[in-house]
Amino acid sequence: MEKAKNLPRWLIAIPLLLFVLFLLGSDGVLGAAPATHFSSGESCRRAVALTFDDGPNPPYTQRLLDILRANDATATFFVVGEAALAHPEVLRQERDSGMAVGLHSYGHSAALSTMDGGEFRADLDRAEAAIEGILGYKPAFYRAPYGHTSETMLRELRRAGYSSVGWDVDSDDWEEASADAIAQKVLAEVHPGAIVLLHDGGLGGGNPDRSATVKALPAIIAGLRERGYEFLTVPQILDPEVCGGSRR
């Protein structure tokens, strides 16, 4: 005991310092660690993840699903809670077609990234309840409206069990570009592991007419196939097992 009393003060303080660091970096009382944010997937194989935001939005979502099924391609739909409640049958078609589904907030508010944790969590919970009530399961991925993601949002997503997903290839279809321009933009910027941003809806002030995106999709699929790309969902392209167990 005498030897312990004679230890240097800095050595005695190490356990306390380690404990404080643990609390700061975990879900402890001093705060939660942020959710992991992905903007691209595994690059070890020639694969791409097509993603569609803001739906469901009839008839464009169904037209996109028809094209994907006809071409034996999969994609991920980041859906808005209030749109899902308005068109639950379309959301179930996404699931039944083998597509992945992620959350894209409840009402596509531009203010989410400025909200405190409680306000954001209320929107997240509302979106989750809407999607889970229709599909029967809780999605694992969340995409912030406009891609605006705050540290507060990431902490709440971590607590709720979500990963955050952005993109690294923007089709610019939200700018009401032509079908040719949309396809050319994607094909010019694509790379192994790319996550491509497209839209099937238009909440939050965008154009709900997605005819150009529908027209562009066959050219995108054909162009990618010619280059040897395969189509994966977001869960698949982010899975380390795609590269044999280690993220690259």
Q: What is the pLDDT of residue 248?
A: 45
Q: What is the pLDDT of residue 244?
A: 72
Model pLDDT for residues 156-200, shown as the tens digit of each residue: 999 999 999 999 999 999 988 999 999 999 999 999 999 999 999
Domain identity same for 126 and 187: yes
Residue 163's CATH number: 3.20.20.370
Domain identity same for 81 and 21: no
Structure tokens, 240 = 């380390």
* pTM (predicted TM-score): 0.86
Model pLDDT for residues 101-149, shown as the tens digit of each residue: 999 999 999 999 999 999 999 999 999 999 999 999 999 999 999 999 9
Higher pLDDT, 16 or 135: 135
Domain identity same for 94 and 26: no
Does 248 map to a domain? no
Q: What percent of the chain has pLDDT over 90?
A: 77
Domain identity same for 5 and 47: no
Give the pLDDT mean for 211-233.
98
- Using omega within 30 degrees of 0 as the cis cutoff, is the peptide bond preceding 139 cis? no
Q: Is the pLDDT of residue 33 over 90?
A: no
Range of the domain at 19: 1-31
How far apart are the C-alpha atoms of 22 and 34, rounded to whole Å? 14
Q: What is the pLDDT of residue 26?
A: 45
53 phi, psi to nearest 5 deg: -110, 155
User: Cβ(71)–Cβ(230) under 8 Å?
Assistant: no
Residues catalogued as catalytic = 53, 199
Residue 105 makes CB contacts below 8 A (sequence gap 6+) with: 80, 81, 112, 123, 124, 127, 144, 145
Does 233 map to a domain? yes
User: Cβ(64)–Cβ(220) under 8 Å?
Assistant: no
Of 149, 139, 247, residue with least CA distance to 193: 247
Does 210 map to a domain? yes
**Torsion angle, alpha carbons of 210, 214, 216, 222, to 10:** 160
Q: Is the pLDDT of residue 152 over 90?
A: yes
**Angle at which helices 211-226 and 60-70 cross, to 10°:** 20
**In the structure, what pLDDT confidence band is assigned to residue 19 with cuts at 50, 70 and 90?**
low
User: Cβ(234)–Cβ(94) under 8 Å?
Assistant: no
User: Cβ(174)–Cβ(198) under 8 Å?
Assistant: no
Higher pLDDT, 246 or 175: 175
Please give the mean pLDDT across all residues of the chain.
Answer: 89
Q: What is residue 241's DSSP assignment?
A: G
Domain identity same for 205 and 83: yes
Domain identity same for 78 and 100: yes
Domain count for the chain: 2
How far apart are the C-alpha atoms of 171 and 199, rounded to whole Å? 9
Domain identity same for 115 and 224: yes
Burial code of 103-130, b = ≥16 C-beta within 10 A, e = fewer? bbbbebbeebbebeeeebbebbeebbeb
User: Cβ(148)–Cβ(112) under 8 Å?
Assistant: yes
Does 147 map to a domain? yes
Q: What is the pLDDT of residue 9?
A: 59
Does 92 map to a domain? yes
Domain identity same for 134 and 153: yes
Does 4 map to a domain? yes
How far apart are the C-alpha atoms of 14 and 188, rounded to whole Å? 53
Q: Is the pLDDT of residue 12 over 60?
A: no
Query: Poorest-confidence range of 37-41, 52-56, 196-200, 243-247?
Result: 243-247
Does 211 map to a domain? yes
Domain identity same for 24 and 140: no
Give the pLDDT mean for 2-21.
55
Domain identity same for 184 and 233: yes
Domain identity same for 43 and 98: yes
**In the structure, what pLDDT confidence band is assigned to residue 28 with cuts at 50, 70 and 90?**
very low
Domain identity same for 95 and 166: yes
